[in-house]
Structure 1
Amino acid sequence: MNKLNLKPIERVSKISKEDFVKNYFIPQKPVVIEKLTEDWPAYEKWHLNYIREIAGDKIVPIFDGRPITHEQKVNEPHLHMKMSEYLDIMEKGPSSYRIFLYNIMKEVPQLKEDFRWPDIGLNLVKQLPMLFFGGENSKVFMHFDIDYSDILHFHFHGKKQCIIFHPDQTKYLYKVPHALISHQAIDFDNPDFERFPALKYAEGFITELNHGEMLYMPEGYWHYMKYMTPSFSMSLRSLPKKPMFLAKAAYNVFIQRYFDNFMRKTKGKAWMDEKNQRAISETHKNLGIEV
């Protein structure tokens, strides 16, 4: 089995605001904080049965692991169902079904009482606490976020594997043009180095998040998530500080996604095939790789 060049993400039990800012935020270094949530009501309450009790009747967006096609808009779900029905599927066994970027707080405001905005030195965007759910073995494709934010990623109920890369590793990750993802044919658990040889040079980080743990991902980091057990996560975010990333975020939000949706509609499958081919050819050309 082929293996990526990954180092364990540094871990601390607890940390002061001053040490977090000095040792991780300023140098833009990832870290797992293990006990940041222990005094939150969510630490005791946030399990799947609790979500079922308070949000079981809500209709939720479902992504099912299929590759993105021209028939979808950016971040468009594959289907919708009741949260209770989704949780039933999750608990029966392995499933590719995921909930992605779901603002459940808007529909179930009482969830806001279960967590505390951490005083950790980040100017967090208070309007955007998003939740993510996944069944055993479901995967979130390698991508970076549209707004290049600093992210605090909290995990609950089970276990989740996270593989992340610094933005300077983009040249090795087969980024798809006009998109925020790497080539969808890459299996980051067992990469094909013959088809995607640039991956051999990428240097990243890996960790497994357990219930209540928080992963800090600095702005613009690539991330690939795999749910080891049925579980869910919450992300809080702070807008990027680097002017370059702010400019890129504005371009992504106001131009790129609309352009990409337009091209999917007008050129269809040919547009998606062209982007995937360019992800490979341009990566190899820029690195001087001959295949």
Structure 2
Amino acid sequence: MGFQLQDIPRVKTITKSEFIRDYFKPQKPVVIESFINDWPAFSKWNLDYMAGIAGDLEVPLYDDRPVKHDEGFNEPHAQMKMRDYVDLLKREPTKYRIFLWNILKEIPELQKDFTFPDFGLRLMKSLPMLFFGGKDSSTFMHYDIDLANIFHFHFEGQKQCILFDQEQSPYLYKVPHSLITREDIDFANPDFEKWPALKHANGHIANLEHGNILYMPEGYWHYMRYLTPGFSMSLRAIARNPKNLSKAIYNVFFMRFYDNWMRKRKGQAWIDHKNEQAVLRTHAKLGIS
């Protein structure tokens, strides 16, 4: 038997008090299906619209190649004009994704298409980020450096999301001094003989469609796979749990700088060492030889 994935609860819409009581306070994920139907973005935002409004912009692209010692933190693998990227998405499967693209910085007029919802948390209004992907492209399993509360709004097509809370970290082959698991684990179809600790993990799964919102509580691991070409926008609110907030401060002001320093000092040997330690530490904790 492999890891257990429970369906994330789904609601049509939700009030602020219901969200705080049922999901934020207990830190449980939820999919809200019909909350943004009155946004202009709900009817306007699709790939063609983005190609029209941002077609001449050069956008950073990422694929699923393993982390290399000579690449900086979140350094893109390629660049392309938005118009050409959308053409690529519609034409054929591609591993290239747009990751953490700040739309207000690049295209301020898109702010007219949405409002910041009041879920009872103070959203960071300068940091709405867009994510695009082609059919069957995916992210590595990871959690965000600031362990924020995340509201993930999906547009066009379908996207599969697999989540784990931080308590599942001992089973996920977390790479030390990083925010990712082993990159060679396929969380959509894991090999439990190669990665036996995964059998003990309990997570959550949901498919998102156009207009759905996924709430991811603080520090949740997430793996995203595009079932069709599409894109999403994330809004975030700072971690409230003091433990998570202290972890976020450590990650931002120490961990990533230490990791980059070690990459420069030891090169690929540092990456290989971390990947090896991910397996050794995980199996040692669980008594797996």
TM interval, short-chain normalised: over 0.9
Once the 2 structures are TM-superposed, how far is the Cα of residue 67 of structure 1 from its aligned partner? 1.1
TM-score (norm 2): 0.98
CA distance in structure 1 between the aligned counterparts of 2:57 and 2:103, rounded to whole angstroms: 9
Partner of 1:46: 45
CA distance in structure 1 between the aligned counterparts of 2:2 and 2:130, rounded to whole angstroms: 30
The answer to whether the Cα contact below 8 Å between 2:104 and 2:126 also exists between their aligned partners in 1 is no
The answer to whether the Cα contact below 8 Å between 1:4 and 1:203 also exists between their aligned partners in 2 is yes
Once the 2 structures are TM-superposed, how far is the Cα of residue 4 of structure 1 from its aligned partner? 3.3
Once the 2 structures are TM-superposed, how far is the Cα of residue 47 of structure 1 from its aligned partner? 0.3
Partner of 1:23: 22
Deviation by residue 1:102-158 (Cα, 9 ceiling, x = unmatched)? 112211101111011111111111111000000111001100000000000000011
Partner of 1:195: 194
**Long gaps (5+) in structure 2:** none
Partner of 2:268: 269
**Structure 2 SS opposite 1:211:** coil
CA distance in structure 1 between the aligned counterparts of 2:207 and 2:136, rounded to whole angstroms: 13
CA distance in structure 2 between the aligned counterparts of 1:261 and 1:90, rounded to whole angstroms: 32
Once the 2 structures are TM-superposed, how far is the Cα of residue 3 of structure 1 from its aligned partner? 4.8
CA distance in structure 1 between the aligned counterparts of 2:254 and 2:14, rounded to whole angstroms: 39
CA distance in structure 2 between the aligned counterparts of 1:155 and 1:258, rounded to whole angstroms: 32
CA distance in structure 2 between the aligned counterparts of 1:85 and 1:261, rounded to whole angstroms: 33
Partner of 2:171: 172
Partner of 2:150: 151
**Structure 2 SS opposite 1:116:** coil
Question: In structure 1, what residue type is equivalent to 2:177?
Answer: H
**Structure 1 SS opposite 2:140:** strand
Say how many residue pairs are matched.
289
CA distance in structure 1 between the aligned counterparts of 2:226 and 2:191, rounded to whole angstroms: 22
Partner of 2:244: 245
Residue 104 in structure 1 maps to residue 106 in structure 2 = no
Deviation by residue 1:223-255 (Cα, 9 ceiling, x = unmatched)? 000000110000000000111111110111111
CA distance in structure 2 between the aligned counterparts of 1:124 and 1:10, rounded to whole angstroms: 23
**Structure 2 SS opposite 1:142:** coil
Question: In structure 2, what residue type is equivalent to 1:110?
Answer: E
The RMSD of aligned alpha carbons is 0.9
CA distance in structure 2 between the aligned counterparts of 1:209 and 1:4, rounded to whole angstroms: 21
Partner of 1:257: 256
The answer to whether the Cα contact below 8 Å between 2:2 and 2:200 also exists between their aligned partners in 1 is no
Kindly report which structure 2 residues correspond to 1:27-176, keeping only aligned pairs within 5 A, or say none.
27-176=26-175
**Long gaps (5+) in structure 1:** none
The answer to whether the Cα contact below 8 Å between 2:39 and 2:114 also exists between their aligned partners in 1 is yes
The answer to whether the Cα contact below 8 Å between 2:2 and 2:198 also exists between their aligned partners in 1 is no
Question: In structure 2, what residue type is equivalent to 1:266?
Answer: R
The answer to whether the Cα contact below 8 Å between 1:103 and 1:130 also exists between their aligned partners in 2 is yes
Question: In structure 2, what residue type is equivalent to 1:235?
Answer: S
The answer to whether the Cα contact below 8 Å between 1:173 and 1:199 also exists between their aligned partners in 2 is yes
CA distance in structure 2 between the aligned counterparts of 1:87 and 1:68, rounded to whole angstroms: 25
CA distance in structure 1 between the aligned counterparts of 2:138 and 2:226, rounded to whole angstroms: 6
The answer to whether the Cα contact below 8 Å between 1:102 and 1:132 also exists between their aligned partners in 2 is yes
CA distance in structure 2 between the aligned counterparts of 1:57 and 1:264, rounded to whole angstroms: 35
CA distance in structure 1 between the aligned counterparts of 2:63 and 2:82, rounded to whole angstroms: 15
CA distance in structure 2 between the aligned counterparts of 1:13 and 1:104, rounded to whole angstroms: 27
**Structure 1 SS opposite 2:203:** strand
Q: Percent identity?
A: 57
**Structure 2 SS opposite 1:141:** coil
CA distance in structure 1 between the aligned counterparts of 2:2 and 2:54, rounded to whole angstroms: 40
CA distance in structure 2 between the aligned counterparts of 1:37 and 1:3, rounded to whole angstroms: 36
CA distance in structure 1 between the aligned counterparts of 2:4 and 2:70, rounded to whole angstroms: 35
The answer to whether the Cα contact below 8 Å between 1:155 and 1:213 also exists between their aligned partners in 2 is yes
CA distance in structure 2 between the aligned counterparts of 1:94 and 1:268, rounded to whole angstroms: 33
The answer to whether the Cα contact below 8 Å between 1:154 and 1:234 also exists between their aligned partners in 2 is yes
Partner of 1:279: 278
CA distance in structure 1 between the aligned counterparts of 2:287 and 2:72, rounded to whole angstroms: 34
Q: Which moved more, 1:220-229 or 1:185-194?
A: 185-194
Partner of 2:12: 13
CA distance in structure 1 between the aligned counterparts of 2:257 and 2:277, rounded to whole angstroms: 20
Q: Which of structure 1's runs of 4+ aligned residues deviate more than 3 A?
A: none
**Structure 2 SS opposite 1:225:** strand
Deviation by residue 1:166-223 (Cα, 9 ceiling, x = unmatched)? 1110110010000000011111111111221000000000000000000000001000
